[in-house]
Amino acid sequence: MRIAVTIFLTDETITPARLARELEDRGFAGLYLPEHTHIPVERTTPYPAGGELPREYGRTLDPFVALGQAAAVTERLGLGTGITLVAQHDPIDLAKQVATLDHLSGGRFTLGLGFGWNVEEAADHGVRWRTRRELVRDRMALMRALWSEEPVAYEGEFGSVRASHAHPKPVRKPRGPVVGPRTLVGGSAGPKLFSHICAYADGWLPIGGRGLSESLPLLRTAWAEAGRDPQALQVVPYAVHPTPGKLAHYADLGIEEVVAQLPPAGEAEILKALDGLTGYLPGT
């Protein structure tokens, strides 16, 4: 099983280049980075995990800039977002960022995307909370138009783009309805989420990886009913604290990649944490 990692990289943690080199040298599969543009001080949205919102949420590095630095110092390491808040981006700009990073890294980028949880953060971007999922679907369709091999116009409910010359293109060729880099959608199991996954993604990025025995069969059914190739569905448990039992359970479910959570820490603590995860790598 491939083991990747995720971490809240901030202005106080290990640097992206240092971490990326260590991950590649040790044989980890990839580095996924989260996104928060800002955290409003006056916030009524509760932290999903409960308690006080951790300090690192308001200090995260821009994931595309940080992953660009990681790409420049590695050759094989996968690079991903976990997750990109698509509703908070101009889709034309985001399409260019995604395609550029994928191109410069030789097709190593995974677009992990989601719908967000912080109402105040999204509101400052002009996002209407009740329609954010429809907005994300619309923006993904617009980006797919820009990523198409030939100029294609798109007219949607929330945005449009003329048929345009837009290069570079993502490295991967279209896969059914999916155009662009490997795309995984994060969120809680349910019909709404699964409809998004089946419409424009390669699979699911379930946070924490709990409850997959019950939810994965439902996703596979929805996937098949959408006419997608059963062998193509990818499920990547995210922000996991691995144990031998967990990994064995995931393997029984047919899962091939897991993203382990690292602490938002400095170099010494991160290297120690990587030492602890190395035993889970294939061949060790």
Q: What is the DSSP string of 2-63?
A: EEEEE---BTTS--HHHHHHHHHHHT--EEEE---S---SS--SPPTTSSSPPGGGGSBPPH
Q: What is the DSSP string of 184-246?
A: EEES-SSHHHHHHHHHH-SEEE-BTTTTHHHHHHHHHHHHHHTT--GGG-EE--BSB---HHH
pLDDT at 125: 98
Q: Which fold has domain 2-280?
A: TIM Barrel (3.20.20)
pLDDT at 177: 87
Joined tokens for residue 224: 């098949």
Backbone angles phi, psi at 178, to 5 degrees: -90, 125
pLDDT at 130: 97
pLDDT at 155: 98
Per-residue pLDDT of the chain (284 residues; tens, 9 = 90+): 999 999 999 999 999 999 999 999 999 999 999 999 999 999 999 999 999 999 999 999 999 999 999 999 999 999 999 999 999 999 999 999 999 999 999 999 999 999 999 999 999 999 999 999 999 999 999 999 999 999 999 999 999 999 999 999 999 988 888 999 999 999 999 999 999 999 999 999 999 988 999 999 999 999 999 999 999 999 999 999 999 999 999 999 999 999 999 999 999 999 999 999 999 999 87
Task: Name the residue ranges covered by the structural domains of the chain.
Answer: 2-280
pLDDT at 175: 84
**Residue 116 contacts residue 146 (beta carbons within 8 Å):** no
CB atoms near residue 93 (< 10 Å): 9
Backbone angles phi, psi at 161, to 5 degrees: -150, 140
Distance of CA 38 to the CA centre of its chain: 18
